């Protein structure tokens, strides 16, 4: 878990997947929340960022994550397989391991 946290802390400003994982790790939002209202509602997203005292250059972007849930899941599976050799990882595994 520390490895994942340290990597996403470094890459969250430049990598979309790292930002997604960073948000999942540091909030109580689910992947469905992040890809629905959080993704599309700029004002509510800014509230979450302000509440957490995060400042990102893209907090006013109309749509933060452009891919589908399935696309992010496939990308996540590849990252975890590459980093740890674990196959068929899910976002729920990430949340449970916190």
**30 vs 21, 25, 27, 53, CA distance in Å?**
10, 10, 8, 20
Domain that holds residue 69: 2-97
* CB-CB contact of 27 with 48 (8 Å): yes
Total number of domains in the chain: 1
Q: Give the least confident one: 5-19, 23-37, 50-64.
A: 50-64
Distance CA 77, CA 25 (A): 16
Give the separation between CA 30 and CA 85, rounded to whole angstroms.
Answer: 24
- pLDDT digits 0-9 by tens, 33-84: 999 999 999 999 999 989 998 888 887 889 999 999 999 999 999 999 998 9
The mean pLDDT of 12-40, rounded to a whole number, is: 93
Give yes or no for residue 25 having a pLDDT over 90: yes
**pLDDT 10s digits, 80-98:** 999 899 898 999 888 787 6
Query: Which residues make Cβ contacts (< 8 Å) with residue 76, sequence separation at least 6?
Result: 17, 21, 89, 90, 91, 94
């Amino acid at each position: 878990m520390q490895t994942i946290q340290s990597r996403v802390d470094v890459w969250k400003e430049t990598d979309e997947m790292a930002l997604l994982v960073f948000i999942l790790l540091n909030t109580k939002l689910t992947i469905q929340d992040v890809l629905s209202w959080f993704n599309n509602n700029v004002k509510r997203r800014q509230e979450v960022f302000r509440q957490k005292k995060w400042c990102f250059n893209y907090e006013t972007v109309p749509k933060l994550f452009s891919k589908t849930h399935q696309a992010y899941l496939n990308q996540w599976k590849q990252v975890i397989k590459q980093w740890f050799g674990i196959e068929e990882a899910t976002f729920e595994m990430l949340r449970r391991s916190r």
